[in-house]
Amino acid sequence: MEPLRPSAGSESHPHAAVHVLRTWLRAEAGAAVLSTCNGPSLQVAAHGLAAPACWPVDALLLAAVEAGVRADFVYRAERAGLELAFYESTAQARWSEGTTGPDLLDVCVQPRVGVHRCQDVARARSLLGEATAGCLAARALRIPLTLQPTVELWSVRPASPGGSVRP
């Protein structure tokens, strides 16, 4: 396989580290198997949305944005010393059927975050407002991405140090 060449625009970041992510797709009966060197293989629907036990490709895109927003928020929270009780989210995308195929209209991620202290509610909201900046998948979208966060105060702490809920 030929090495990747810098794309147009990469010269604007001459001193930035360049990272390469490789995936492999192998066709199988009714599905495809997506693999990468950094994680487990995943069955992907060969076509359409109704393949049992397979992720539709459209859902993979939405999941990448949702997981990227979470990863960026958790990273920012750890750097800020913000202790989280939990993190969960839902995401949805809307698209329309265009003449050349589906057109993605928008994506909405609705993170729900729990914190233990009153003063951390505002900090968590602020960090959630920045949570798309470090998300590669979110930054690659050419459509609007909306975050609709909810931050809750959880006054109950785990009984033991090992019992905390990791985001």
Q: 10: domain range?
A: 1-55
Are 95 and 42 within one domain?
no
79 with 146, same domain: the answer is: yes
Among 31, 55, 79, where does a domain finish? 55
pLDDT of residue 81: 96
Both 146 and 89 in one domain: the answer is yes
pLDDT of residue 1: 46
82 and 40 in one domain? no
133 and 72, same structural domain? Answer: yes
Identify the bridge partners of residue 43 per DSSP, sorted by sequence position: 33
pLDDT in tens, 68-125: 999 999 999 999 999 999 999 999 999 999 899 888 999 999 999 999 999 999 999 9
Say what the pTM is.
0.77
The pLDDT value given to residue 149 = 96
5: burial class by Cβ within 10 Å (0-12, 13-18, 19+)? Answer: exposed
pLDDT value of position 65: 95
**Contact residues for 33 (Cβ-Cβ < 8 A; gap 6+):** 25, 26, 41, 42, 43, 44
